[in-house]
Structure 1
Amino acid sequence: PAVQLIQKDGQVVGAVASNNGKNINIKVNKAVILTTGGYEFDPESLRTYAQGENYHALGNPGNTGDGLRMAQSMGARLWHMTAYSCPLGTELPGCKAALQVAMMAPSFIWVDKNGKRFADEFSPDGHTRCYVVNRFDPISHSYPSIPCWLIFDDKAFKRGPVVGGSSGYSINREGYKWSRDNSQELATGVITKAESLEELAKKIGVSAENLVAAVQKWNTDIKAGKDTQFNRPIQNPHKKVVHIEQKAGAAVSAPLDETGPYYAIKLYPTLLNTQGGPKKNVNGQVMDVNNNPIPRLYAAGELGSMWGNIYQGACNNAECIVFGRLAGRAAAAEKPWS
């Protein structure tokens, strides 16, 4: 792995790499292309740049911000540092990466650390859900919705796996498999169960009064045909499959059971990837603080992504391919520096 860039006369002429615990210097013939990914697993960068707290990640634990620091050492201009693709997810025992939680049944709500419902749980695009919970409360000086809680009933629990989706490092690399009947997650504490809302509130550490009121208000509204708090749709209004795998017209909102048991899952912002990093031009050249290209330094992929908060699914994959070719072509056209 690369750990440092080497510069001479303002241009990148080499890199320092770690090899079996020893550093080796590698001379650059034409250029360096940084393709190191983001900073999802770098706590210091997250504290500095991410809006919110307690961020977890779904991707590669190797994304520790190395490329970001190397680009900064060359005076790179940064952009999109508060932009991310970030669903909500939960921790898994024995796994380095978290797991995205996209609820499959309609009888659920989210509540904050006070036991209060705070948002439309269905409509926000899965890639932008961190922006729903990263609101800072200037009175309590805290983030009331980080972590938050997914609350659901027994019919949702018995319907099948309560989460959808099959991607992420924990699944594809660490081999985690969510149980078909949710029993494994109940046994390991990923899911908390209680016979009443009051007992559930005590177990997860929220106000029992607020949690009971939140469920009662939700049930009353949905039975009457409208979410008066946040206008969550009763049925899926979309014409195609969306982030919750429901067909158009399928119910996405339903009352919770009047009697227990009830269940909860703790939710955190879980990064698919950070979009921020060194700014690049159309050739993939990394720009300095004055928006001039840094000689012989390029970037491609997630590091310094062109996408901001409007990221759409699969666009990062396309960007890796497109800017990999652009940066590779431009770097190959450079004249050797010596």
Structure 2
Amino acid sequence: MREITTNVSRRRFITGTAMAGALTALGLAGCAPKASGADELPQTGFTQDMNWDEECEVLVVGSGYAGLAAAIEAKTAGADVKIIEKTNRVGGNSAFAAGDMAVYGSKVQEREGITDSIDAFVNDMLVAGLYLNDEEKCRLIAEKSNETWEWSVEMGATWDQDENGEPYLYPYGGHSIMRTICQGAGGGSNVTGPLSERLSEMGVTVETERMLVELVQNGEGRVIGAIVRDGAMDNDVESGTAVAIHATKAVVLATGGFGRDLEFRMAQDPRLDETVDCTNQEGATAEALKASIKAGAMAVHTDWIQLLPFMSPDEQGYGVAAFYTDGQASYAPTLSKATGKRIVNELTDRKRYADAILETGEPCIQITCAKALYGNGLQDAIDAGITKEFASVEEAAAFYEMPVDAVVEEIKRYNSFVASKVDEDFEKPIPDDAQPIDEAPYYGVRLWPKVHHCMGGVKTDLDCRVLDMDLTPIPGLFAAGEAAGGVHGACRLGSCATTDCLVNGRIAGQMAAAETAEA
């Protein structure tokens, strides 16, 4: 690969110098390559001539919810679109997600007679995010949630159906009102698959094993392309062949989070070392975020990393636990191994739930019975060896080395809450169809949080334009989904990621296509 030009104006040189301390702290000292321009100071290590290997108008990086939505919208707007994916499969993390979607004002809420509001949706996100969220972004997500869900259906996405063949709502922790539309078997792939097929019908194929490693800017700081590694493997930025792609209108970052990037995430939160597992696919690493920061982007909330509480330490990665244990959260207690007592409102947001488990210092135990069971994930959990069957509560407590008498009493107390529909200890909403846990067979599973979602990323405005350290948009650079930080505050409210990615992915694609092409 030829060397790349990098000449930078005096103003951007001074700005970059001022940022050096912050970038060094993140291990990101340096600058993005700059194409030649007028009145510039040379940057060492690059030649004067920029030669491109490929060209498009809009380059979309990442093929999850946000990237596919962006590519479809940009193509619909008439732009020449190229979409690349660092792994060898389409869909990114989204294809492996549970895929449920928080939607305000849907026909499903209307059918169920549920009254909701934008303000309630936004407030639920703010409470979960400890009020660190970008409130305007939250409001935008809520306002556009239903039209975006309807759009996904138009694009061919499928959602789980009840016995009447209708989509239905699912109770999610942290939501004060039922608004989450349930995804079925296949999870997020029920969305990413149809979206990628639609994109292919439009003449755009996702180009896999192409990893973005650097953004290219001209002398005025506009992003005009990217350096990618063609045939990249194992998240290695030196693998494959370097290719320079000219994006005459814009680059859209839909590169997800960095949950699998052990070194980078430990720099943000040292507690999240190799002993803490991660639910993400292997490509969830930080090279695109690093490239963005080197190009002048402001990074926000990178040390807020969400842990998914209802995971099992007895399997690796996402596994099957959440498809079973999450459903039981409305109906079953989570007990401390040491005390046998409940530790939390099991329907609180993910941060409070995960923190409560972590505070015990060891995996907690969820116990239920066949009569009280919710959902269809039990057999998969048993087959995976993470859920055990018992003849009695006493047997379950003994197996997990818990104080037997305390567990028996706590289950009885919980059953009294089921009967009265009032949780006197943690104020958890008890579902109308909840049943007491009092009839064999009983089931137990260990719970221990895993890294799930990175709240941090590049700062963006309501048009998904990436902002620099002066909160000024970087021309030609957009971001959406988990790659954008600050949206969810300290902790993302469950089922809002799908909404965020699709809403902002569409906006990013529309805005990128509307950019004036580079002269």
Q: Provide TM-score, normalisation by structure 2.
A: 0.47
Match of 2:214 in 1: 5
Match of 1:148 in 2: 364
Amino acid at match of 1:109: P
Residue by residue, what CA displacement relative to the aligned partner does 1:206-251 show, whole Å, maximum 9, x if unpaired? 44454334223323444466322112234x3xxxxxxxxxxxxx32
Shift in CA distance, 92/5, structure 1 to aligned 2, threshold 3 Å? same
Determine which of 315, 327, 337 is the counterpart of 2:512. Answer: 327
Shift in CA distance, 76/189, structure 1 to aligned 2, threshold 3 Å? same
Deviation at 1:55, TM superposition (A): 5.6
8 Å contact from structure 1 (residues 302, 320) kept in 2: no
1:282 aligns with 2:458: no
Match of 2:436 in 1: 255
1:133 aligns with 2:351: no
Provide the rounded CA distance (Å) in 2 between the counterparts of 1:104 and 1:135. Answer: 17
Match of 1:211 in 2: 407
Residue by residue, what CA displacement relative to the aligned partner does 1:291-324 show, whole Å, maximum 9, x if unpaired? 2333443223331056325756442222211222
* 1:286 match: secondary structure: strand
Amino acid at match of 2:499: C
Higher helix share: 2
Shift in CA distance, 289/273, structure 1 to aligned 2, threshold 3 Å? same
Match of 2:499 in 1: 315
* 1:134 match: secondary structure: helix
Amino acid at match of 1:4: V
Match of 2:229 in 1: 18
Provide the rounded CA distance (Å) in 1 between the counterparts of 2:412 and 2:366. Answer: 16
Q: Quick one: percent identity of the two aligned structures? A: 22
8 Å contact from structure 2 (residues 260, 282) kept in 1: yes
1:264 aligns with 2:485: no
Deviation at 1:150, TM superposition (A): 1.9
Determine which of 43, 68, 72 is the counterpart of 2:293. Answer: 72
* 1:88 match: secondary structure: coil
1:88 aligns with 2:271: no
8 Å contact from structure 1 (residues 221, 227) kept in 2: yes
* 1:103 match: secondary structure: helix
Match of 1:139 in 2: none
Shift in CA distance, 193/283, structure 1 to aligned 2, threshold 3 Å? same
* 1:143 match: secondary structure: helix
Shift in CA distance, 194/77, structure 1 to aligned 2, threshold 3 Å? same
Larger RCO (CA under 8 A, 6+ residues apart): 1
Provide the rounded CA distance (Å) in 2 between the counterparts of 1:214 and 1:51. Answer: 35
Deviation at 1:48, TM superposition (A): 4.8
8 Å contact from structure 1 (residues 46, 55) kept in 2: no
Residue by residue, what CA displacement relative to the aligned partner does 1:76-118 show, whole Å, maximum 9, x if unpaired? 2123443759573447868765544332697521123433202
Amino acid at match of 1:133: A
Q: Provide TM-score, normalisation by structure 1.
A: 0.68
8 Å contact from structure 1 (residues 87, 272) kept in 2: no
Superposed counterparts of 1:187-198, under 5 Å = 187-198=383-394
Provide the rounded CA distance (Å) in 2 between the counterparts of 1:40 and 1:298. Answer: 21
Match of 1:233 in 2: 429
Unaligned runs of 5+ in 2: 1-209, 232-238
* 1:102 match: secondary structure: helix
Shift in CA distance, 229/93, structure 1 to aligned 2, threshold 3 Å? closer
Match of 1:111 in 2: 335
Provide the rounded CA distance (Å) in 1 between the counterparts of 2:225 and 2:331. Answer: 57
Shift in CA distance, 283/256, structure 1 to aligned 2, threshold 3 Å? closer
Residue by residue, what CA displacement relative to the aligned partner does 1:139-196 show, whole Å, maximum 9, x if unpaired? xxx5327743321024235xxxx436xxxxxxxxxxxxx4xxx345324312122334
Provide the rounded CA distance (Å) in 1 between the counterparts of 2:505 and 2:261. Answer: 21
* 1:302 match: secondary structure: helix
Amino acid at match of 1:23: T
- How many residue pairs match? The answer is 288
RMSD of equivalent CA atoms: 3.7
* 2:244 match: secondary structure: strand
Match of 1:199 in 2: 395
